[in-house]
Amino acid sequence: MDFKVINTAPGTNARAGEITTDHGTILTPIFMPVGTVGAIKGVHMHEMREQVKAQIILGNTYHLYLRPGMDIIQRAGGLHKFNGWDRPILTDSGGFQVFSLSENRKLTEEGAHFRSHIDGSKHLFTPEKVVDIQRIIGSDIMMALDECPPGTSDYTYAKRSLELTKRWLVRGWERFRSTEPLYGHRQAFFPIVQGCTYADLRRDSARFVADLGAEGNAIGGLAVGEPTEVMYDMIEVCNEILPADKPRYLMGVGTPCNILEAIDRGVDMMDCVMPTRNGRNGMLFTPEGTMNMRNLKWADDFSPIWEDSPCLVDRVYSRAYLRHLFIAGELLAMQIASIHNLAFYLWLVTEARRHIVAGDFAAWKALMVEKLNRRL
Positions marked catalytic:
92, 271
List of residues 6+ apart from 24 with CB closer than 8 A: 55, 86, 87, 88
Give the Cα separation of 195 and 185 in Å (integer). 33
Contact of 193 with 219, CB cutoff 8 Å: yes
355, containing H or E segment: helix 331-358
List of residues 6+ apart from 305 with CB closer than 8 A: 284, 313, 314, 315, 317, 318, 319, 322, 336, 340
Give the Cα separation of 171 and 165 in Å (integer). 10
Give the Cα separation of 339 and 344 in Å (integer). 8
The region, left, alpha or beta by phi > 0 then psi within -120 to 50, assigned to residue 195 is left
Q: How far is CA 181 from CA 138, 145, 237, in A?
A: 7, 18, 34
Residue 296 DSSP one-character state: G
Q: Which of 101, 31, 40 is nearest to 66 (CA)?
A: 101
CA–centroid distance for 117 within its chain: 22
Contact of 139 with 89, CB cutoff 8 Å: yes
Contact of 147 with 95, CB cutoff 8 Å: yes
242, containing H or E segment: none
Q: What is the DSSP string of 68-90?
A: T-HHHHHHHTSHHHHHT--S-EE
